[in-house]
Structure 1
């Protein structure tokens, strides 16, 4: 259930990003849901591979280089989705950079608000300890 909510929040983030970032275009909300799945798959595969390859720049920039990688993956998702016939477009790297930033911020805020954290459940009373002399 939480995975479906995360895809929904990513699609809402994509909708907000398309509204505010110039160079991003979208069609229906169903297309944005499919793009959210594409983004998740690309982040898992290509994004992870690029972060391993770019370990030194990431370490030198204290992780800020991961924003560049996220922008590249977002741009790649736009190119791939247009080849698949979806109406999601990313016009260039900077549109992808800021689109990834806005999308992740919106999805993170929605996830923090609506997806409950795993809380430790109480196990009941603690067992009594008998001291034997």
Structure 2
């Protein structure tokens, strides 16, 4: 159940990102296709972050220290671009128009996800 809630939060954050950030688009033919695309891309984004981000942090820890963590913004943008590449490979109607759209999109995704997570408390943490 927690996985589905996290997936829904990521999909909503992705939807908000498409509304706020120019250059991040979901072009479904109808509302159902758009919603399914958002869920599929959220799943891809979650898998990419779960698999690659820890590896990148371990191998790039020196860069994280040297830049006081600012390299994380670039890493997040590149992971967002990778998500776009995988989604396009799967013929999903999702598109990110370059690095800067991915940069701002990753920031908006992180902030919106955090805000929603704060607003929707996890039942396991309440116990």
Shorter chain as denominator, the TM-score bin is: 0.7 to 0.9
SS at match of 1:78: helix
Q: Distance in 1 between matches of 2:71 and 2:117?
A: 24
Q: Separation in 1 of the partners of 2:122 and 2:13? A: 19
Which runs of structure 2 are paired with 1:44-55 in the superposition (5 Å)? 44-55=50-61
* Structure 1 residues 92-120: Cα deviation after superposition (integer angstroms, max 9, x where no partner): 11111111110111111111111236135
Distance 2:94 2:58 in 1: 28
User: Greater CA deviation, 76-85 or 1-10?
Assistant: 1-10
Q: Could you tell me which residue of structure 2 aligns to residue 14 of structure 1?
A: 14
Matches of 1:75 and 1:47, distance apart in 2: 13
Equivalent pairs, count = 120
Runs (4+) of structure 1 moved beyond 2 Å?
A: none
Q: Which residue of 2 aligns with 1:123?
A: none
Q: CA deviation at 1:45?
A: 1.5
CA distance in 2, matches of 1:110, 1:22: 22
User: How many angstroms apart in 1 are the aligned matches of 2:46 and 2:103?
Assistant: 16
* Aligned mates of 1:94, 1:50 — CA distance in 2: 20
- Which is greater in Rg? 1
Match of 1:98 in 2: 104
Q: Is the 8 A contact 1:2 1:115 kept in 2?
A: no
Over the aligned positions, Cα root-mean-square deviation in angstroms equals 1.3
Unmatched segments (≥5 aa) in structure 2: 29-33
In 2, distance between residues paired with 1:47 and 1:90?
Answer: 20
Structure 2 match to 1:119: 126
Give unmatched runs, 5+ long, in structure 1.
121-133
Query: SS where residue 89 of structure 1 aligns?
Result: strand
